[in-house]
Amino acid sequence: MKKDRTYRLTLEYDGTRFSGWQVQPSLRTVQGEIETALQRILGQPVRLTAAGRTDAGVHATGQVAVFAASTEILPELLKRALNGLLPPDISVIEASETDPGFNPRFSAVSRTYRYTITNRKISVGRAYAWHVRFPLARDLLEEATKPLAGHCSLEGFSKKNNDDDYSTIIYNTGWTFSDHTMIFEISAIRFFQHAVRGIVGTAVTVARGKEPPDLIGSILGTGDRSLAGPLAPASGLCLVHVDFGETL
């Protein structure tokens, strides 16, 4: 028997061949592909709401989206049907029913992004990392990003849109290093377009010795985008987790 249901999807996608998450006319988007598949399965149009609108070329392993529909299909069957129809660069990891009032955009208490840098040419994984051809001082990467904590404004790292308020709360940042990779993770209550890529690009400029170690702190204080380094490429960025403050 059909009834009104709200479904929650956890999604993974390779953003390489997408023009971002959000539906755009005549462009291939993650939202557009999923909504097209859902309409085929359910026989009705639906609209997805996501926790974060990733930009063109940005990946996700933990995106969360919801939609409402009048249907009898159970979440596990929906998951199987979607994975059978969706292109190889999108996968549904989990599907469940949720409260009709659940909105991942406003219910999230934090979002975590990961940025991967490699200091040598790689073949496996090259679509998910930024190959930086210049020597980078790893201690300067860490020092450069230390000011990113607590209440702050990301205006100086973000694309200028219609936002009047670029304030956020940053809960955690950190670098993980191995032989050839440098991985930056940052968790905050909200982000803005290009913010993480702007931060990483600026940190790399500092780590190359081109700018002083306190540059990110200065940008946080002034909100001056002209002080920041170039945007890091989208290919190295991935939305890895959205936290809703849930307890098991």
Structural domains of the chain, ranges and CATH numbers in brackets: 3-106 (3.30.70.580), 110-243 (3.30.70.660)
Closest C-alpha among 116, 109, 137 to residue 205: 137
- CA dist list (Å): 131 to 117, 121, 125: 6, 6, 11
- pLDDT for 103: 96
- pLDDT for 145: 98
- pLDDT for 161: 78
What is the pTM for the complete model shown? 0.94
- pLDDT for 1: 58
Catalytic residues: 55
**CA 57 from centre of chain:** 10
| pLDDT < 70 stretches in the chain | 1, 162-163, 247-248
pLDDT tens-digit readout, 57-82:
999 999 999 999 999 999 999 999 99
- pLDDT for 19: 97
241 CB burial (10 A radius; 0-12, 13-18, 19+): buried
